[in-house]
Chain A
Amino acid sequence: MALLKSNKVIHCLGNISPCLGVLSTRSSSWWGGVQMGPPDPILGVTEAFKRDTNPKKMNLGVGAYRDDQGKPFVLSCVRKAEALIASKQMEKEYLPIGGLGEFNKACAELALGDNNDVLKSGRSITVQTISGTGSLRVGANFLSRFHAGPRDVYLPKPSWGNHTPIFRDAGMQLKAYRYYDPSTCGFDFKGAFEDISKIPEQSVILLHACAHNPTGVDPRPEQWKEISDIVKKRNLLVFFDMAYQGFASGDINRDAWAVRHFIEQGHNIVLSQSFAKNMGLYGERVGGFTVVCNDAEEAKRVESQIKILIRPIYSNPPINGARIATTILNTPDLRSLWLEEVHGMANRIIKMREQLVAGLKKEGSSHNWQHVIDQIGMFCFTGLKPEQVERLINEFSVYMTKDGRISMAGVTSGNVGYLAHAIHEVTK
């Protein structure tokens, strides 16, 4: 209100003397009413970690893989692919809106399996996206515009923090189904099944394909089968988020099992894929968005509309990461090397889980830490309470998010003993 009033005064002054008008307007801003946005909770952890001078400090907030020296890891297959690409001196012309064709094909094959009937029939479309976030965003926009069902998207409780703002910004509404059981630090199958049974028909349900973020808790195959059945019964539209294929168990086929099972069962899913973690291509922003349709004709229509959605956001996607990923997936030597390296990363994480539990036992902890081993992927929901997390940060310089989530990627053979000690101290 005050801003409007002062502008009226400036307007009059402007008429009298243009110079005065400019000077007066200079003092007011268009942005007086813009509030400071809340700080990102995860970034806050890293900021505090950076300021800490304790030599034993550990950053367990970061969601990026680290090697056993705690360093970022550039995969050899990536370096080799980059050298190959550099030697070809390729041009820099715009990609099509939907991205690099060979990438899209390889990306879909990775998720669905080479011989998948859906791919052979041409009844799915895949577009290259700006990593997982970009894929979810394009998907959310697509559903918002074209999904005739309810505007509700059901997320597992809890889910990745960015899911909610992405879908909300696209105009969808968020609801939840039970997922994580804090009493067992495991999967609340009964609760999930009950909640899903009550979801109104044609609603959208989001499922983490593997390595659930943030809990690390995945359904077992027989549980996935039941979920598939009830989802089919309720006629829900399935949105799979697969950000960790290969990274969870170390086996790309095993990690894609749920996605492939659902498709086999006749669900026409939509799927987001990310190559940030499994190829270590974080900053190159490599991802895919897939829609499984009834037939090739429908797929064509859907693809045309997705392109219309993408064009006013960023026109067409960046090529560098997609070229690297395609080169790796389509060059037999590099593909084998990649599978080895992703297996290596997953194995290191699994080993750290085992060593952490062994360490806690050695410290004399009487608690049941089995969930640390049962959970899978980058993250572990320790079950630690906020006050315990606070102590870990303040007394031991061990940084994690308030919900007790730790990134196992931040654990090394060099610091796992210290971590076990610290956790024991705050939980004994």
Chain B
Amino acid sequence: MSVFCDVPLSAPVAVFQLTQDFNNDPFPTKVNLGVGAYRTDDGQPWVLPVVKKVEKVIVHDNRLNHEYLPILGLPEFRAASSRLVLGDKSPAIMESRVGAVQCLGGTGALKIGAEFLRRYYNGNNNTKTPVYVSAPTWENHNAVFASAGFEDVRSYRYWDAAKRGLDMSGFLGDLESCPERSIFVLHACAHNPTGIDPTQEQWRQIARVMMRRQLFAFFDSAYQGFASGNLERDAWAVRHFVSAGFEVFCAQSFSKNFGLYNERVGNLTVVARDADSLRRLMSQMEKIARVTWSNPPSQGARVVALTLNSPQLFDEWKDNVKTMADRVLLMRAQLKAKLHALRTPGTWDHITQQIGMFSFTGLNPKQVEYLEKEKHVYLMASGRINMCGLTTKNIDYVAASIHEAVTVVQ
């Protein structure tokens, strides 16, 4: 009798199942608007030119070896990553109260941060501290915090389906009514899946309420540079909270903005009140990393560190990032224009108002199903599309398909 005879078959992760279904579809003009990875106008993955260059340098450098990185990761990577999000001249960095943990992608950074908070925030091992994630949010946020032991993961109002924008009053309402010391997971920019970001003024309001109510800000920054094409602009919210005096965690991912998806490059930037707190905090972060993965993988971190720390390569990288961001902006503009031209029922301004890789189209599950089954256009049941899946070659087909879905299915 097997010890595992009672293990149930779990449902597959939706976004990966979608890609699998797409791959299995023989329809010649099928379109994948599902998983969040950048595609060129030929619908191909894109290894950034600067990454290709740096990888060549690494593979030919015989001084490099494959020894273990320190538990917290590659020092030059960690420092450069934190500078990237906080700004080179960040007072917090000058005051030695910024630390970092190199992690396995953005997920890994969220995980280490969550594990730390569960152990040490708001008391010791306080698994009842509410964790708020936006409604909707990246589907793995819930699981990361739950698996770290938090028993009370809730949502704060965010997406206003009626106006296809930010439900600011709902958001503020939840900030006012939640228990003090609750943890809030905030998307630094290019909100996933809606693409709707607060304005700077709205961020200021959010920060004021959070400060007054003693709420913890945990930023998820997976798209710095990728959202607006400008690194500083995309980091504005995080920097504002730091200058407003918050102690924050910021989970950074280099999957999208460096195209290093499968190398798992992430960084947890930690801003504490003072150097002494930081020191103690980092010593405990080390213990958590040690029982999770011991030390992180070196390849991707080396690529990012070399790039960020060389002025020339850094400029090349910014250029590559802008290329990606610009193509997305172009697709947004074109999709909206085509839907308007077709006089597709509904309003479509949100497509250009939203930012980043994703757009919450507002399509309902029945319409999504129609698109998949009848038109072989694949997108998430939530109506989320990956703008990168659009190309100048398929955009007419997609626009026409959306038009059909919206008119045929209500």
* Residues in A71-120 with C-beta less than 8 Å from chain B: 72-74, 78, 82-83, 86, 89, 91-97
* Residues in A295-327 with C-beta less than 8 Å from chain B: 298, 300-302, 304-305, 307-309, 311-321
- Which residue of the partner chain A has the closest CB to B122? A30
In contact, B297 and A284 (Cβ under 8 angstroms)? yes
Choose one: B69, B140, B245, B281; the contact of A34 (CB below 8 Å).
B281
Surface stretch bound by A, among B169-177, B209-217, B331-339, B375-383: B209-217
Q: A93 vs B143: C-alpha distance in the bound complex, in angstroms? A: 23
Q: A91 vs B39: C-alpha distance in the bound complex, in angstroms? A: 12
For residue B286, which residues in chain A have a CB less than 8 angstroms away from its CB?
37, 40
In contact, B4 and A314 (Cβ under 8 angstroms)? no
Q: Given A165-B290, A311-B143, are A89 and B3 also a contact pair (CB < 8 Å)? A: no
In contact, B7 and A146 (Cβ under 8 angstroms)? yes
Q: Is residue A14 within 8 Å, beta carbon to beta carbon, of the partner chain?
A: yes
Q: Is residue A332 within 8 Å, beta carbon to beta carbon, of the partner chain?
A: no
- Which residue of the partner chain A has the closest CB to B124? A33
Q: A128 vs B69: C-alpha distance in the bound complex, in angstroms? A: 20
Q: A94 vs B105: C-alpha distance in the bound complex, in angstroms? A: 11
Instruction: Kindly supply a per-residue 1/0 record for chain A positions 9-47, scoring 1 wherever the CB is within 8 Å of any chain B CB and 0 otherwise.
Output: 001001000100110011111111111110010000000
Q: Is residue B299 within 8 Å, beta carbon to beta carbon, of the partner chain?
A: yes
Q: Is residue B206 within 8 Å, beta carbon to beta carbon, of the partner chain?
A: no
Question: Closest 3 CB pairs between A and B?
Answer: A314-B104, A29-B273, A37-B283
Cβ distance B17 to chain A, nearest Cβ, rounded Å: 11
Q: Is residue A384 within 8 Å, beta carbon to beta carbon, of the partner chain?
A: no
For residue B108, which residues in chain A have a CB less than 8 angstroms away from its CB?
313-315
Q: Given A22-B244, A148-B6, A312-B144, are A281 and B66 also a contact pair (CB < 8 Å)? A: yes
Q: Given A31-B120, A34-B280, A293-B4, are A74 and B66 also a contact pair (CB < 8 Å)? A: yes
Choose one: A32, A132, A285, A315; the contact of B107 (CB below 8 Å).
A315
What are 7 residue pairs bridging A and B, where the CB atoms are less than 8 Å apart in the complex? A31-B273, A93-B261, A93-B262, A97-B13, A134-B292, A284-B298, A315-B108
Q: A30 vs B3: C-alpha distance in the bound complex, in angstroms? A: 44
* Residues in B79-93 with C-beta less than 8 Å from chain A: none
For residue A64, which residues in chain B have a CB less than 8 angstroms away from its CB?
67-68
In contact, B6 and A300 (Cβ under 8 angstroms)? no
For residue A92, which residues in chain B have a CB less than 8 angstroms away from its CB?
45, 47, 51, 259-263
Choose one: A30, A162, A316; the contact of B262 (CB below 8 Å).
A316
In contact, B280 and A283 (Cβ under 8 angstroms)? no
Q: Is residue B41 within 8 Å, beta carbon to beta carbon, of the partner chain?
A: no
Choose one: A30, A91, A291, A294; the contact of B247 (CB below 8 Å).
A30
In contact, A134 and B280 (Cβ under 8 angstroms)? no
In contact, B294 and A91 (Cβ under 8 angstroms)? no
- Which residue of the partner chain A has the closest CB to B120? A34
For residue B47, which residues in chain A have a CB less than 8 angstroms away from its CB?
89, 91-92
Q: Is residue B208 within 8 Å, beta carbon to beta carbon, of the partner chain?
A: yes
For residue A130, which residues in chain B have a CB less than 8 angstroms away from its CB?
104, 292-294, 297
For residue A320, which residues in chain B have a CB less than 8 angstroms away from its CB?
263, 297, 299-300
For residue A305, which residues in chain B have a CB less than 8 angstroms away from its CB?
7-8, 10
Q: A7 vs B327: C-alpha distance in the bound complex, in angstroms? A: 48
In contact, B104 and A318 (Cβ under 8 angstroms)? yes
In contact, B55 and A86 (Cβ under 8 angstroms)? yes
Instruction: Kindly supply a per-residue 1/0 record for chain A positions 188-207, scoring 1 wherever the CB is within 8 Å of any chain B CB and 0 otherwise.
Output: 00000000000000100000
For residue B214, which residues in chain A have a CB less than 8 angstroms away from its CB?
7, 11
* Residues in B1-58 with C-beta less than 8 Å from chain A: 2-13, 16, 35, 37, 45, 47, 51-52, 55-56
In contact, A94 and B293 (Cβ under 8 angstroms)? no
Q: Is residue A133 within 8 Å, beta carbon to beta carbon, of the partner chain?
A: yes
For residue A319, which residues in chain B have a CB less than 8 angstroms away from its CB?
262-263
Seen from chain A, the residues whose Cβ lies within 8 Å of a Cβ on chain B are: 7, 11, 14, 18, 21-22, 25-37, 40, 64, 72-74, 78, 82-83, 86, 89, 91-97, 130-134, 137, 146-149, 162, 165-166, 169, 202, 237, 268, 276, 280-285, 291, 293-294, 298, 300-302, 304-305, 307-309, 311-321
- Which residue of the partner chain A has the closest CB to B265? A318
Q: A316 vs B216: C-alpha distance in the bound complex, in angstroms? A: 28
In contact, B297 and A285 (Cβ under 8 angstroms)? yes
Q: Given A280-B66, A283-B297, A320-B297, are A29 and B277 also a contact pair (CB < 8 Å)? A: yes
Q: Given A31-B273, A36-B279, A298-B4, are A313 and B211 also a contact pair (CB < 8 Å)? A: no
In contact, A86 and B280 (Cβ under 8 angstroms)? no
Q: Is residue B65 within 8 Å, beta carbon to beta carbon, of the partner chain?
A: yes
In contact, A30 and B297 (Cβ under 8 angstroms)? no
In contact, B281 and A147 (Cβ under 8 angstroms)? no
Cβ distance A5 to chain B, nearest Cβ, rounded Å: 13
In contact, A131 and B294 (Cβ under 8 angstroms)? yes
For residue B6, which residues in chain A have a CB less than 8 angstroms away from its CB?
146, 148
In contact, B247 and A134 (Cβ under 8 angstroms)? no
For residue B221, which residues in chain A have a CB less than 8 angstroms away from its CB?
none
In contact, B294 and A162 (Cβ under 8 angstroms)? yes
Q: A134 vs B290: C-alpha distance in the bound complex, in angstroms? A: 10
In contact, A149 and B3 (Cβ under 8 angstroms)? yes
Q: A311 vs B140: C-alpha distance in the bound complex, in angstroms? A: 8
16 further interface pairs, Cβ-Cβ under 8 Å (given A86-B56, A268-B3, A318-B297): A14-B212, A25-B211, A29-B274, A31-B277, A32-B277, A34-B277, A130-B292, A130-B293, A133-B290, A133-B293, A148-B3, A165-B287, A293-B2, A308-B13, A313-B108, A321-B297
For residue A268, which residues in chain B have a CB less than 8 angstroms away from its CB?
2-4
Instruction: Kindly supply a per-residue 1/0 record for chain B positions 253-292, scoring 1 wherever the CB is within 8 Å of any chain A CB and 0 otherwise.
Output: 0010001111110000000111001011101101100111
Q: Is residue B409 within 8 Å, beta carbon to beta carbon, of the partner chain?
A: no
In contact, A312 and B147 (Cβ under 8 angstroms)? yes
Q: Given A31-B247, A313-B292, are A82 and B59 also a contact pair (CB < 8 Å)? A: yes
Choose one: A162, A302, A318; the contact of B4 (CB below 8 Å).
A302
Q: A301 vs B204: C-alpha distance in the bound complex, in angstroms? A: 48
For residue A7, which residues in chain B have a CB less than 8 angstroms away from its CB?
214
Q: Is residue B111 within 8 Å, beta carbon to beta carbon, of the partner chain?
A: yes
For residue B16, which residues in chain A have a CB less than 8 angstroms away from its CB?
96-97
Cβ distance B105 to chain A, nearest Cβ, rounded Å: 6
In contact, B7 and A298 (Cβ under 8 angstroms)? yes
For residue B348, which residues in chain A have a CB less than 8 angstroms away from its CB?
none
Choose one: A162, A285, A317; the contact of B291 (CB below 8 Å).
A162
Most buried by A among B68, B143, B294: B294
Q: Given A34-B277, A283-B298, are A86 and B293 also a contact pair (CB < 8 Å)? A: no
Q: A319 vs B140: C-alpha distance in the bound complex, in angstroms? A: 21
Cβ distance B140 to chain A, nearest Cβ, rounded Å: 6
Q: Is residue B362 within 8 Å, beta carbon to beta carbon, of the partner chain?
A: no
In contact, B299 and A318 (Cβ under 8 angstroms)? yes
Q: Is residue B295 within 8 Å, beta carbon to beta carbon, of the partner chain?
A: yes
- Which residue of the partner chain B has the closest CB to A29? B273
In contact, B10 and A308 (Cβ under 8 angstroms)? yes
Q: Given A86-B59, A91-B47, A97-B16, are A304 and B9 also a contact pair (CB < 8 Å)? A: yes
In contact, A317 and B264 (Cβ under 8 angstroms)? yes
Cβ distance A18 to chain B, nearest Cβ, rounded Å: 7
For residue A283, which residues in chain B have a CB less than 8 angstroms away from its CB?
66-69, 295, 297-298
Most buried by B among A18, A29, A31, A294: A31
